[in-house]
Chains A and B, each alone.
Chain A
Amino acid sequence: MESEVSNPTVSWRIPNNWADITETFHEAVKDLKLGELLHDDLFGLFEAMSAIEMMDPKMDAGMLCNRGVRKIVSFDQAVQDCILKLDAFSDSEIIGIIDSTLACLVSWLEGHSLAQTVFINLYLHRPYMIEDRTLKAFCLSVYKLLEIIKDLVHKAMVYEEEDFQPMQYGYQLNPDISEQRMIGMLREVEEDLHKKLRGNHNEETQGVYGRIRFIRVFLQVLIIFRKEDQQPCIADCQRLLNTSIDMLYIVQDTVHLGVRNEDVDNEHIVGFEPSINQRLLPPTFPRYTKIRCRAEAVLYFMEMVERFKIVCRIQSISSLHQALDFFIEFSKCSPCILSRSALQLLYPGTNPVNLKDILKDAVKTFICPPALLSKTLLANAQAKHYVDTFLSHCSRPFQNFLQLCGHNRARQRDKLAHLLEEFTTLQDEAERVDAFLHNLSVSSPLSRPHIACFGTWVLYHTLRIMIMYLLAGFELELYSVHEFYYIYWYLYEFLYGWLISALSRADSFLVENEILNELQKNKGTSKKKPKYKKKPRPYNRDIIYLQALQNMCGGYYKALMGFRLEGKLSMPHPRFDSEQVRYEHRFAPFQNLLTPPPVVYSEFRDMTSFQRFQQQPVDSVFLYIAGCKHFHQARQLFESVPMDHEVAELLKICKTNFIVLKLLAGGHKKDSTKPPEFDFTSHKYFAMIKLN
């Protein structure tokens, strides 16, 4: 009833009358010289280069040796030959088919093509012909799963070609079923299985029941994620996700019951044909997709459902800054494409319609700009207009920032560099708006000065992006050890310092605003002195944390300079190296920023030259001791913030590095030129220094 793969239409009709010119041809080519190519004007060697060479096993996917020994049998042929049955499946066979299909689904979600994963299952080629109700419902539901997953991933727009292959190769459900009907169908099968279990409880039937229920519930979760018009009901989601996990435990416990292929050469059971779609694949070198094993696939789904649970928490976050932190934190565990996409769709801020208001709240919370709070300024039409325009211009950069955090880790660094360009323009506009508003507010006695309010807010984000960019280089292992010192130097000397002062400024603004509010509140009362309770400053924890990181970077910088002086760092051969070129390449995306102003190479050399330290002789011991002090300071700062997993790791690193530098300062291994090791296993950005 439904169509399978339609034949690709041929643009011209294949001739049916052929003339044999073999002899003629072979005679004719003898007139060509060795190396001479015969072609017309529009074709040449350049074009010829890209031709696929036939009968070369590395390039010709259609060759016999690449096609596999098995005879490739289609669904129709297999049914005809009675290899494939359509009914009377045992529970064990159903479990095997479902588990194999789920394993194929996981392989697809890891970035392979549908033709070589899910659609190697022949039962999916003609799902309406299957007579067994359970298997039929399962096969139809796979089509719905594919459709919803593709839609989700496509809408979220955080996938790259290595993440996801959406092409469906002409496999479509015909006729299509609605989501509701599909859920209904699955429920019916579930109920039948449940009745059967009550009569006779056995493990296999339990296994099938668990799988069907999991598929139904999983499908429902994805349907909720996809809902566009209304805010998805998270309570429903949590309930369904918990059921998913319960069902997945049943699946895990019954994986061993699924029918398997005992043959060593062939891992696939009846109904799964790995090469069935080979003719549909684009002409490239032969590609083989290794399907995940069944047990691993179950684990993949379990971890995915756990990630979905985390993703649902974004619903309770209303502030943009918290949301950004959430996105950044979530990205660090390298989540799968589906959970990254779900996060994008569940957060209202990724929708540009909502973003402007969220931005306004964000600035208000961050720094309490008078422009958004003071009545006099709010009443001024022109001021309101400027602020409004500025906030709408902020929409796209922040939308891009949120989307960037949803991409896979490897792709983020490049995108961060591009994002900086957008923030440069924002900085410019923020400065001008601030200047205008400042002039206005100066004239009115009650309002606070508007110096650099919006500017500080944009600067805060710009600096965070710059820091993310540099640190990503460590995670992606882009820097050689001999480059570490200027990366850490830039972070220590500039970026963290600027970030701390931006936060401090925001901090002061917030405190000032509070004092002003207190004063105004107590105006009418008889109190002589307003009791100003000593409250912790709003950004205290963040500032201390950043100071600790700054000190760590300082520690690394001094340690590395010490290593250089003692010849412990292997530098590239000067004939083939230019430090200036390396430096400029690493900091290239920062060149166009206004604030902070980029540090050119000559300035860097100036600032890091030993002539600056007038008083004392600079030798490696001096540098090691300086590094020690930094790590010690970092440690003290970390001990004063509330502990969490990351702070605990960083503390360990600080303590270790402190000891190592202390030893080195004492002359330990002074003459050894063995390079020290930088161990990033505890933390991706900050290494533990190890001596060999």
Chain B
Amino acid sequence: MKEVLPSTSTEVESEDVSEYEPEPVEKIEKPLNMAPGAVKLRSLLNKTFRIEMTDGRILIGVFLCTDRDANIILGSCSEYLPAESKAKTLNEEPRMLGLVMVPGKHIVSVHTDANDYDPGMYIPLSKNINSDDVT
């Protein structure tokens, strides 16, 4: 049946999709950044971090991502308000936040679980050391 359409409106066509097949996506492996800093950071991925922010709040979560400006993404993150006293003990009742991004410029300090952290593993020697210096 011939359809009478207003003169300038476009006809709605159904696309013929029968011949289109998606090409298999090739995973292009990007070469890993092997600089010592990057290697160090990758060893810290998925470890528990404790970050102190410029306004005194403490965030504890799993380290998931970072970038050059030290913006850090934490997963399963909880927020603790600064404790009243000087003691290291945190205020109870953390606020559950989930996935959080802390801008690098608001980070005062970064701590990680000492039981899980081995500081010396991947830092290459920065200068030549005489065997006599190693005691």
Q: Does B55 contact A (CB under 8 A)?
A: yes
For residue B94, which residues in chain A have a CB less than 8 angstroms away from its CB?
A: 8, 10, 279
**Are B97 and A283 in contact, CB atoms less than 8 angstroms apart?**
yes
Chain A nearest CB from B62 CB (Å) reads 9
**Are B106 and A54 in contact, CB atoms less than 8 angstroms apart?**
yes
**Distance between Cα atoms of A11 and B48 in the complex (Å):** 13
- Return the contact of A43 from the options B54, B64, B110 (Cβ within 8 A): B64
Contact residues of B between 44 and 102, Cβ < 8 Å to A: 44-46, 48, 50, 53-55, 57, 59-60, 64-70, 73, 76, 78-79, 81, 90, 92-102
CB-nearest residue of chain B to A572: B9
Q: Does A53 contact B (CB under 8 A)?
A: yes
Q: Does A17 contact B (CB under 8 A)?
A: yes
**Distance between Cα atoms of A668 and B22 in the complex (Å):** 63
For residue B69, which residues in chain A have a CB less than 8 angstroms away from its CB?
A: 29
Chain B nearest CB from A633 CB (Å) reads 31
**Are A29 and B117 in contact, CB atoms less than 8 angstroms apart?**
no
**Are B1 and A35 in contact, CB atoms less than 8 angstroms apart?**
no
Q: Does A578 contact B (CB under 8 A)?
A: yes
For residue A43, which residues in chain B have a CB less than 8 angstroms away from its CB?
A: 64-65, 73
**Distance between Cα atoms of A47 and B98 in the complex (Å):** 12
Q: Does A19 contact B (CB under 8 A)?
A: yes
For residue B117, which residues in chain A have a CB less than 8 angstroms away from its CB?
A: 19, 21
- Return the contact of A575 from the options B8, B40, B113 (Cβ within 8 A): B8
How many chain B residues touch the partner (CB < 8 A)?
A: 68
Contact residues of A between 1 and 55, Cβ < 8 Å to B: 5, 7-8, 10-12, 14-15, 17-22, 24-40, 43, 47-48, 50-55
Chain A nearest CB from B94 CB (Å) reads 8
Q: Does B119 contact A (CB under 8 A)?
A: yes
**Distance between Cα atoms of A622 and B66 in the complex (Å):** 73
For residue B111, which residues in chain A have a CB less than 8 angstroms away from its CB?
A: 18-22
The total of interchain contacts (Cβ-Cβ below 8 angstroms) comes to 181
**Distance between Cα atoms of A24 and B102 in the complex (Å):** 18
Q: A48-B73, A62-B57 are in contact. Are A17 and B67 (CB under 8 A)?
A: no
Size category of the A interface is 35 or more
- Return the contact of A54 from the options B10, B64, B81, B101 (Cβ within 8 A): B101
**Are B65 and A21 in contact, CB atoms less than 8 angstroms apart?**
no
**Distance between Cα atoms of A48 and B65 in the complex (Å):** 8
Mark contacts of B29-41 with chain A using CB atoms, 8 A cut-off: 1 yes-contact digit, 0 otherwise.
Answer: 0000101111011
Q: Does A581 contact B (CB under 8 A)?
A: yes
Q: Does A579 contact B (CB under 8 A)?
A: yes
Chain B nearest CB from A100 CB (Å) reads 25
CB-nearest residue of chain B to A67: B81
**Are B68 and A574 in contact, CB atoms less than 8 angstroms apart?**
no
- Return the contact of B42 from the options A34, A38, A64 (Cβ within 8 A): A38
Chain B nearest CB from A482 CB (Å) reads 12
Mark contacts of A575-593 with chain B using CB atoms, 8 A cut-off: 1 yes-contact digit, 0 otherwise.
Answer: 1011111000000000000
Q: Does A531 contact B (CB under 8 A)?
A: no
Q: A28-B41, A54-B101 are in contact. Are A574 and B9 (CB under 8 A)?
A: yes
For residue B107, which residues in chain A have a CB less than 8 angstroms away from its CB?
A: 22
Q: A53-B101, A55-B54, A64-B55 are in contact. Are A602 and B3 (CB under 8 A)?
A: yes
Chain A nearest CB from B41 CB (Å) reads 5
**Distance between Cα atoms of A24 and B112 in the complex (Å):** 11
**Are B6 and A51 in contact, CB atoms less than 8 angstroms apart?**
no
**Distance between Cα atoms of A36 and B68 in the complex (Å):** 7
Chain B nearest CB from A322 CB (Å) reads 45
Q: Does B12 contact A (CB under 8 A)?
A: yes
**Are A18 and B112 in contact, CB atoms less than 8 angstroms apart?**
yes
**Are B113 and A29 in contact, CB atoms less than 8 angstroms apart?**
no
Given contacts A10-B78, A574-B8, A580-B9, 19 further A-B contacts (CB under 8 A): A8-B96, A12-B48, A15-B50, A15-B116, A19-B111, A19-B114, A19-B119, A21-B111, A21-B117, A26-B70, A29-B70, A32-B38, A32-B67, A33-B33, A279-B94, A279-B95, A578-B12, A580-B3, A580-B12
Pairs across A and B, CB under 8 Å, 29 listed: A14-B90, A18-B50, A19-B117, A21-B111, A21-B112, A22-B109, A25-B110, A28-B38, A28-B40, A29-B68, A30-B68, A35-B68, A36-B67, A38-B33, A39-B45, A40-B64, A43-B73, A48-B101, A55-B102, A62-B57, A62-B81, A278-B95, A279-B94, A283-B95, A574-B7, A574-B8, A577-B9, A579-B9, A605-B4
B: residues with CB less than 8 A from A are: 1, 3-10, 12, 33, 35-38, 40-42, 44-46, 48, 50, 53-55, 57, 59-60, 64-70, 73, 76, 78-79, 81, 90, 92-104, 106-117, 119
